[in-house]
Amino acid sequence: MTPRILLIPAVALLLAACDIPGMGPDPRIAQREADAKAIGGACRHALRGIEDCYRMNEKSPKTAVFEGWKEMDQYMRDNKIEGQRPSFEVAEKEEIIENKKPADEAKEKTADAQARTGAKAATGSARL
């Protein structure tokens, strides 16, 4: 009967030191929160408000985004770092404008060509 009594604490000690798969936190959740903190820090460095950051990253957990934003804010204040405005917004607007111009010109050319061929067809039928 004494071996049974000693066996129970021995098994409990062995299981206490063991990492049982599936019992710990999901690594995907930890990665998502780390990404959200990085997003918050990047938003703060880009001089964006926290509300804009939330709006731009709706799928990220707001608590982690705010935590990253707040940490970056404190870091920037402590080290007297100035934020930087993002420059990609200007480039996107220019691309959109440039892409619209050739399309509009192509439409105008096809409309002119159709008008000319329609006018020729009309004058040709009048000659007959």
Mean pLDDT within 48-69: 90
Overall pTM > 0.75: no
**pLDDT tens profile 7-48:** 888 777 777 766 666 677 778 888 999 999 999 999 988 888
DSSP-assigned states of every residue in 14-71:
HHHTS--TTSS--HHHHHHHHHHHHHHHHHHHTT--HHHHHHH-TTS-HHHHHHHHHH
Number of separate helices (H) and strands (E) present in the chain: 5, 0
pLDDT recorded at residue 19: 66
Mean pLDDT within 41-67: 90
Q: Is the pLDDT of residue 93 over 80?
A: no
Higher pLDDT, 110 or 5: 5
Q: Is the pLDDT of residue 126 over 90?
A: no
pLDDT recorded at residue 37: 94
* Highest-pLDDT range among 22-26, 71-75, 85-89, 107-111: 71-75
